[in-house]
Copies of this chain bind each other. A is one copy, B any other.
Amino acid sequence: MPGPTIYDVAEAAGVATSTVSRAFSHPGRVSTRTRERVLAVATELGYRPSPHARALLSGRHHTVAMVVSDITNPHYFELIRGAEMRAKASEYTLVLVNAEESPRIEYDQIQRLVPAVDGFVLAASRLPDENLLQISAQRPVVLMNRELAGLPSVVLDHAQGCRQVVEHLASLGHRRLVYLAGPRNSWMAGTRWTALRSAAEELGVEATRIGPFTPRVSQGGAAADGALHSGATALVAHNDLLAIGVVQRLRQRSVRVPEDVSVVGFDDIFASSLCTPTLTTLGGAHAEVGRSAVEVLLQISNQPSRSEPATQIALPAELVIRDSTGLVRR
């Protein structure tokens, strides 16, 4: 069901195709009368310009691809929402790809889309740095919740955030915390650990790390058991899903939260305010991260010169204190 083309409109309006084209793309370069006639005929015929023909000619697709490392995690939801809204606002099309935690899938899908999109926003990419740099040589790339020298990125300020977490725990009297690490190839996992450790050192808290764990509720069992073994009084889980799983396992083992141990998560997903106990977690304006990332992408992909230094944005993280953290038991 191919719609009417520019030829049909031109014929019906009694003008040349180039005039029809101009009436749409450069309304100023056509006399008011012709323009109006052309537009009238076009709407009557239900004409819509073909984005493919346009893209073929211009090389611009008006499309951005968003790749998320694991669509199963409700956290990404917010990122997607923000990205979608920003794209829509500029009449850009958003293509969604789930990498299923597989660098291989992530890479292949990106390569598949290279010739079809204007750029990529990558949420928590699991790809090694070299791959990212290589991709960014093909198309503009904006990283979300990951940083890499030379590439634009939007992140929640993890360093400051982790500091808040440790301060919170220290103020409650905790002296030993354990970080339940995320996936090995997650930049966030590494970064959080570094930030936690340095904040801990500064505040006189002993910090250890166990893992890596796949950040799912189901992995909470293993994480909790490992953590108990460590003797820490505060558990900082890589994300809320893992934290929720940890809390469930602790309850199963009759360890009370927060009386016996405190648990902190990351992301502030919807469920965190509903579970029992409600979860203390490091949140922030995730949708805004998605929004910003697309914004930056549109900006650089509409810039002729690719010379300026990459914009790296850090949005504030916000510690949401709920019921899973409490005073350390004496």
15 additional A-B pairs beyond A48-B111, A94-B97, beta carbons within 8 Å, are A1-B138, A3-B138, A51-B116, A53-B56, A71-B81, A74-B74, A80-B96, A81-B98, A84-B96, A84-B98, A88-B98, A95-B96, A96-B96, A271-B274, A274-B275
Report which of B52, B77, B84 forms a contact with A116, defined as CB distance below 8 A.
Answer: B52
Q: Taking the nearest CB of chain B, how far is it from the CB of A276, in angstroms?
A: 5
**CB-defined interface of A40-61 with B at 8 Å, one 1/0 digit per residue?**
0000000011111101100101
Take A59-B2, A77-B74, A274-B271 as given contacts and tell me if A51 and B88 are in contact as well, using a CB distance cutoff of 8 Å: no
| A: interface residue count bin | 35 or more
Residue of B whose beta carbon sits closest to that of A96: B96
In the complex, the count of this chain's copies comes to 2
Contact of A151 with B by CB under 8 A? no
* Contact residues in B for A116 (Cβ distance below 8 Å): 51-52, 93
**CB-defined interface of A79-111 with B at 8 Å, one 1/0 digit per residue?**
011001100100101111110000000000101
Contact of A29 with B by CB under 8 A? no
Report which of B61, B84, B276 forms a contact with A97, defined as CB distance below 8 A.
Answer: B84
Q: Which 10 A-B pairs have the closest CB atoms?
A: A274-B275, A271-B271, A52-B55, A96-B96, A52-B52, A51-B116, A52-B56, A48-B115, A276-B276, A84-B98
